[in-house]
Structure 1
C-alpha cells in the first residue's frame, strides 16, 4: 500500500469504510474531501507523516499559537515589520522607466542583493539555459526588462526569509521558499493567460505564505528553548497553523501599506473555502498554490502523477495542470 493510499484510508468515514484491497479510485468518493488536500500532504513533507492528535510538544506548540494570536492583533510585534527598502527603491526605478544601467547601479549598492539576483537568474525558475551567468549585467539581460521586477522581488523576499532564522531556513524554509517562488511563477503565467497584471500575480504568490514563515520561525525558536527532544507538528498544531497563518499574512502585508490591488486578494484569501470570493487573483493564487504543493510532493516521490491527477479532479481543476509536474521532473 502506498503512503498516499494510507492517507486516503485515514479519511474514510466509519460508515463507508472500504477494504484496503480496493483500487485507489473506488474509495475516493467516500473520503472526506477536506483530508484529500495538498496542504495536509505538504505538512507531512515538512514534519514527516507520523503526526498524532497531540504530542510531547503540545505545550510548546500551544505557547507558539498564543504568541501568534497576539501578533494577529499587533503584527509589528512579530517578524517582517517593514517592506524592504532595497526592493521599494528598485521597483520605483523600474516603474519610472529608468535606464537599465541605473537599475544595475542601484542593485550594485547592495552586493549581497546583486549576487542573489545573479544566482536566481541561473535558477530553473527564471532560466531554461544551461549556460551560467556570472555578472549582474548579463543576469538582467537574460531575464529581460519585463521580468526584472519579478527577479529582484524574489531575491529580496528570499533574503528576508533567510534572515528570520538560519536554522529555521535550513530545516523548513527552503521547501517553503521553493513553494512560494513556484506559486509566484505559476500565478504570473496564469495571470498572463487571462489578461491580468503578471507582476501583481507574481508578488501575491511570493508573499502568500509570509504568515506561515513567521510562525515557523517562532516554532524553531520555541523548540530551541524547550527541553523537548521530539519534532513538533501535531495534527492540532497543523490545523491551527493553517487557520492562523493566512490572517497573519494579511496583517503583515497590510502593515506594509502596499497597493490595494495587492492587499485585497490577500484579504480574500483568508476566507477562501468559508465564504464565496469574487477576485480572480484569489482563484489564480489558490490554484497555483495547489499546483506548487503537488509539484514538491511529486519531486520528493511522495505522490505519483496519477495521485496528483486525482487531487486535481477532486478539487475541480483541469488535469492539464499535470504538465507543470512533468516539466519539473524532467528538469
Structure 2
C-alpha cells in the first residue's frame, strides 16, 4: 500500500510540475444527453425551431470531429517526437555541452569549494572562465537586499568578480553557484504550459534546502547534499527542452509535407495542434532520472560523489538500503514534493503519512523541516 501511494504521489507531482489539471475532464465525454425542456430555450423563452436545434447538434458534431482530428494529429506528431528524442538522448556530448550547456570549469569549482584548503583565490580564475556566471554574481551582490553602505550611508558598488566572491564568502558560494547554474539551465519556452519553469525552480530549491537540512541533522556534507538536491532534475530539464524543441521541428516538417501534398485540412489543423502534457509526463517518468545520472557522471566530480547517489535512485534501491547521500536526496526530494502538493491541496493527511513514512526520515527531521524556508537561499554574512 505504501509503495502504491508513493507511485501515486510521484505521478501527481509530475502533473503538478507540468501544469496538468488533475481534475481535467475527458475531451470526448458524452455530449448527447437530452436536456430538460427549460434548457432547450432561447433567452425569450421561445422554443427553438427544429432547424436551429439541428444546427446546434451539427455544430457540436463538427467540433467533436475537429477535436478528434487534432488529437489524432497530435498523437502522430508525438510518435515522431519520441523517435527523434530517443536518438538525441544517445548523444551525451550534445546533451552536456549544447543542450544543457554545463560550463567546463563548473565541476572543478564545486570540487575545490568542498575541501578545507578552499579559498577565493583558487576559485576566482575558474569562475572567470564563465562570463554569464561572473555577470550574475556581480548583479546579485548589487541587489538592494545585499548592498553594503559606508559610514555615510552611501552604497558601495561591487564591480569586480573578486569583490563579489569575497563579499559572498565560500560558505554562501556553495549555495549561490549551484543555484545560479540551475536557474541558467531552466527551459524558457514551454507553451502551453508556462508554469513549468517556476515549478521546476521551486522543486529544485525546495529539494536542495531540504537535503541540506537533513544532512545537517545527520552530520553529513551539506554542500554535497545541497548540490545534489539542486542538480538532481537536470535530466528533466533536458527532456523538457528537447520535447518542446522537437515538437516544433516535427510540426514544421508536417506542415511542409501537408503543403506539398496539398492536404489543406491537415495543413490548417496542424496550426492548432499543441504539445501534449501527458506525452511529456510519460517521457519525464521514463527517462529523466537516468539522464540526470548520465549528465552527473559526465561532470566528472572528483570529490562530490553525486553520480553514485543518483545511480541508486535510477536503480530504485529501497531508501532504507541506500548509501547516505542517495538516502538524503530521496528524503529531501520527497519532503519537498509533499510540501508543494500540500500547498496545491493535492495530498490528504492519510496519503502524506504513508508517503513520509516510506522515506524513513531521520529523527527530528520532520520537525526541523516544518520550520525551514524552502523557497529562499537564506544566506548568512559576517557582521564585519
Report the TM-score, using the length of structure 1 for normalisation.
0.69
1:208 aligns with 2:222: no
1:285 aligns with 2:304: no
Deviation at 1:246, TM superposition (A): 1.1
Give the structure 1 partner of residue 312 of structure 2: 268
Q: 1:321 aligns with which of 357, 366, 370?
A: 366
Q: Is the 8 A contact 1:294 1:308 kept in 2?
A: no
Deviations 1:33-83 (A, max 9, x none): 255314423423423223879955333333333334334544224355674
Deviation at 1:156, TM superposition (A): 2.3
Report the TM-score, using the length of structure 2 for normalisation.
0.61
1:132 aligns with 2:139: no
Unaligned runs of 5+ in 1: 1-28, 124-129
Deviations 1:172-223 (A, max 9, x none): 2332133112212221221122122212212221221111111101111133
- The alignment of Structure 1 onto Structure 2 pairs a total of residues equal to 292
Unaligned runs of 5+ in 2: 29-70, 148-156, 252-269, 377-384
* Distance in 2 between residues matched to 1:244 and 1:150, nearest whole Å: 27
Deviations 1:95-136 (A, max 9, x none): 58465366557646655313423566799xxxxxx9333746
Q: 1:46 aligns with which of 18, 36, 40?
A: 18
Change beyond 3 A, Cα 1:263–1:297: same
Q: Is the 8 A contact 1:42 1:293 kept in 2?
A: no
Give the structure 1 partner of residue 75 of structure 2: 58
Q: 1:250 aligns with which of 279, 293, 317?
A: 293
* Distance in 1 between residues matched to 2:6 and 2:188, nearest whole Å: 33
Greater C-alpha Rg: 2
Matches within 5 A, 1:50-89: 50=24, 57-80=74-97, 83-88=102-107
Q: Is the 8 A contact 2:124 2:162 kept in 1?
A: yes
Deviations 1:17-39 (A, max 9, x none): xxxxxxxxxxxx79942553144
1:222 aligns with 2:239: no
Change beyond 3 A, Cα 1:43–1:280: same
* Distance in 2 between residues matched to 1:119 and 1:193, nearest whole Å: 33
